[in-house]
Amino acid sequence: MVRAIRGSEESLVEATGASYAQWFKTLDDAGAIEADGTPWPHGKIAAFLVDEGVDGWWAQHVTVVYEQEHGIRAPGQRADGSFSATVSRTLDEPVADAVRRVVPVVADALGAARPNLNLEAKNPSGRFRQHDGTVIVIGFSPRGEGRSVVGLEHTGLDADADLDAVKQRLKELLSGL
């Protein structure tokens, strides 16, 4: 079973000025879970954190972990109720080079057409539509001088999907890079 992913407590404190426990207490004190047990919608929780000075990415992250910790959202569950599994790998090459090398390898492994990617974008991404209606998203981002991160996310999965097996398959797609 996939478990909630918290990220490094140190990174969270560095980025937001507070720990998970502190943010969870702030949310609880603000009434993010009403007295009758009804939680605020995801967007309201994230917006509250942004209003508290948290960067948007970190606000989303804290919101998801808060929802998972309080049983509002299962690990791997997206806001629309579907599930996804994500893996990433750091590469010792700039984004543009990684895109040119990795996209054909992943497309061939999936037996799919290569997605359209904007190579001018800071974080190029594309979608591989699967026969079952799900989508595998590939994304690239810079990671310091001459390095990049490639991520794969399989989205649109059902609640009964074996997320650990899906993650393993995605890891295998990135293992030979």
Q: Given a cut of 80, is residue 168 above it in pLDDT?
A: yes
pLDDT attached to residue 130: 92
Per-residue pLDDT, 121 = 82
Measuring CA to CA, how many Å separate 38 from each of 2, 45, 67, 159? Answer: 25, 13, 12, 22
Helix (H, G, I), strand (E, B) or coil at 8: coil
Q: Which domains does the chain have, with CATH numbers?
A: 9-69 (no CATH), 83-175 (3.30.530.20)
pLDDT, greater one: 176 or 33: 33
Radius of gyration for the chain, computed over Cα atoms and rounded to the nearest angstrom: 18
Nearest Cα neighbor of 16 from 64, 50, 66, 41 is 50
